[in-house]
């Protein structure tokens, strides 16, 4: 069982690095999803506003 | 559909990884000369394989980006380079941890180690460029060129143990031909580990790539909103 420490450290580093990378991706993905939803809502609100402004002038013409 | 694919790929990668771990720590016999520390090899080589596959993909994506100019190729190249750098770093670290008890040193300027380090530096430059500079088309083109040029080092790393005098073992194909693994169980364990890392690579690539695609959609949506506001203001 000589050099068991090296083996343990090597495998620990591999799994820690993969885990941290996956956590990093997931964190960014959930942040982007929230951002995308917020932007979609803002775009819908702007489109509604535009449609509301155009509706009275359509009726008057 | 995408979430199902992520789930299936992630689960397959996890299962294959657990099987590989069982084989590495329980099933495969201990190598006679190096002892237990040789078991680093079963994850060291797959890390190198994923790094090389990633960098190959970066080069292919770079060629298509320069040819077609579509954002999807740039996103694919960016996603692949991150994964390549992660696994190339792991190759250097695990190699160093293996070298210390066997060669008596953490690092030596051997041809295989040096060419791998040069590869790591070049793609490190790519990542630095993407991190520091703004996301413009010009930067994406520069990055594509770096990605293609740096990938030329991958075959050099692979054949370095045959071209120059080296202390790094030629495991898969030795100078005498054949492979350097004495027991068939060692070959099977290596193959299972390679399969597990390939699945992991596909899963990570899909996750990161879809995140970058979402970022691109976000930028497009933000531009649309700015345009809609401008039009509303102009009206």
Find the mean pLDDT for residues B154-176: 76
Judged by DSSP in three states, B210 sits in helix
**What's the CA gap between B229 and A37, in Å, rounded?**
18
Find the mean pLDDT for residues B187-201: 96
Share of chain A above pLDDT 90, in %: 36
Q: Is the CB of A51 inside 8 Å of chain B's CB atoms?
A: no
Number of domains in chain B: 1
**What is the distance of C-alpha A60 from the center of its chain?**
45
ipTM computed for the complex: 0.88
CATH number for the domain spanning B200: value is 1.20.120
CA dihedral (B186, B95, B124, B215) positive or negative = positive
**What's the CA gap between B144 and B151, in Å, rounded?**
11
The tens digit of pLDDT for each residue in B3-47 reads 788 889 999 999 999 999 999 999 988 887 888 898 999 999 999
Judged by DSSP in three states, B165 sits in coil
Does residue B215 belong to any structural domain of this protein? no
Does residue B184 belong to any structural domain of this protein? yes
How much is the pTM? 0.88
Q: Which two tokens stand for residue B124?
A: 């490190």
Q: What pLDDT band is residue B155 in, cutting at 50, 70 and 90?
A: very high
**What's B35's DSSP letter?**
B
Q: Is the CB of A29 inside 8 Å of chain B's CB atoms?
A: yes
Q: What pLDDT band is residue B179 in, cutting at 50, 70 and 90?
A: low
Does residue B230 belong to any structural domain of this protein? no
B180-205: b (≥16 Cβ within 10 Å) or e: ebeeeebeebbebbbbbbbbbbbbbb
Residue A58 has pLDDT above 60, yes or no: no
Residues contacting A31, CB < 8 A, separation 6+: none
More confident residue, B180 or B27: B27
Domain of residue B36, residue span: 2-210
Q: Which residue in chain B is spatially nearest to A40 when comparing CA positions?
A: B221
Q: Is the CB of B223 inside 8 Å of chain A's CB atoms?
A: no
Does residue B87 belong to any structural domain of this protein? yes
Does residue B228 belong to any structural domain of this protein? no
User: Does B93 contact A13 at a Cβ distance shorter than 8 Å?
Assistant: yes
CA dihedral (A53, A54, A55, A57) positive or negative = positive
Q: Is the CB of B125 inside 8 Å of chain A's CB atoms?
A: no
Lowest mean pLDDT segment, chosen from B61-65, B81-85, B167-171, B204-208: B167-171
User: Does B215 contact A9 at a Cβ distance shorter than 8 Å?
Assistant: no
Q: Is the CB of B84 inside 8 Å of chain A's CB atoms?
A: no
Q: What pLDDT band is residue B223 in, cutting at 50, 70 and 90?
A: confident
Residue B172 has pLDDT above 90, yes or no: no
Does residue B38 belong to any structural domain of this protein? yes
Contact A4, B25 (CB under 8 A): no
Rounded to 5 degrees, φ, ψ at B31 are: -65, 140
User: Does A10 contact B89 at a Cβ distance shorter than 8 Å?
Assistant: no
Report domain extents, chain A: 1-61
pLDDT at res. B32: 79
Does residue B131 belong to any structural domain of this protein? yes
Find the mean pLDDT for residues B77-89: 96
Q: Which two tokens stand for residue A10?
A: 């090597």
Q: Across chain B, what does the average pLDDT equal?
A: 89
**What's the CA gap between B11 and B5, in Å, rounded?**
10
More confident residue, B37 or A61: B37
Residue A15 has pLDDT above 80, yes or no: yes
């Amino acid at each position: 069982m000589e050099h068991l420490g090296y083996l343990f450290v090597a495998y620990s580093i591999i799994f820690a690095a993969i885990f941290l990378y996956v956590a990093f991706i997931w964190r960014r993905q959930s942040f982007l999803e929230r951002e995308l939803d917020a932007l979609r809502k803002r775009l819908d609100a702007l489109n509604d506003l535009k449609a509301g402004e155009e509706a009275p002038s359509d009726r008057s013409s | 559909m995408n979430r199902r694919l992520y789930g299936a790929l992630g689960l397959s990668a996890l299962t294959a990884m657990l099987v590989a771990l069982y084989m590495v720590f329980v099933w495969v016999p201990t190598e006679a000369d190096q002892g237990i520390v040789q078991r680093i090899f079963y994850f060291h080589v797959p890390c190198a394989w994923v790094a090389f596959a990633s960098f190959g993909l970066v080069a292919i994506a770079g060629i298509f980006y320069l040819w077609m100019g579509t954002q999807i190729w740039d996103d694919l190249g960016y996603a692949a380079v991150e994964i390549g750098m992660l696994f190339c770093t792991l190759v250097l670290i695990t190699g160093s941890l293996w070298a210390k008890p066997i060669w008596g040193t953490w690092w030596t300027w051997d041809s295989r180690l040096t060419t791998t380090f040069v590869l790591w530096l070049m793609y490190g430059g790519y990542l630095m460029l993407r991190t520091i500079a703004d996301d413009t088309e010009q930067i994406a083109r520069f990055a594509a060129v770096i990605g293609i040029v740096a990938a030329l080092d991958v075959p050099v790393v692979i054949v370095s143990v045959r071209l120059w005098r080296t202390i790094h073992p030629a495991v898969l194909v030795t100078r005498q031909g054949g492979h350097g693994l004495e027991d068939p169980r060692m070959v099977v364990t290596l193959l299972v580990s390679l399969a597990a890392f390939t699945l992991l690579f596909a899963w990570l690539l899909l996750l990161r790539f879809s995140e970058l695609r979402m970022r691109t959609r976000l930028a497009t949506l933000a531009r649309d909103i700015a345009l809609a506001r401008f039009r509303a203001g102009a009206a």
